Amino acid sequence: MAVNLTEPGEVLTVISDGPGVVDEELTLALVQDGEQVDVKVRVVATKPQMLNGVLRHHLTLEVLGAQMAAADTRLWTR
């Protein structure tokens, strides 16, 4: 799964093997240098797309609460 920060402090985009459901709440376990931070998110949009001939799902996720301040997502995004 690839995670990208699109709007600092608010929205993440994820390329996933599985589809998301709008308004579904998920927990992302972001790991860097052996440290894990669980970030609660809500699916705000989902769009299927073909990547290298394989069906993937582009999910737009809203970070719930004030977790973004505690989780420096720049460490996990590309």
Q: H/E/C letters for each residue in 16-56?
A: ECCCCCCCCEEEEEEEECCEEEEEEEEEEEEEEEEECCEEE
Assess if residue 77 is contained within a domain: no
For residue 78, the model assigns a pLDDT of 44
For residue 21, the model assigns a pLDDT of 94
Residues spanned by the domain of 16: 2-72
Percent of the chain with pLDDT over 70: 69
pLDDT: is 33 or 22 the higher one?
22
Q: Record the pTM.
A: 0.70
How many structural domains are present in the chain? 1
Mean pLDDT of 40-66: 90
Mean pLDDT of 6-33: 81
Assess if residue 78 is contained within a domain: no
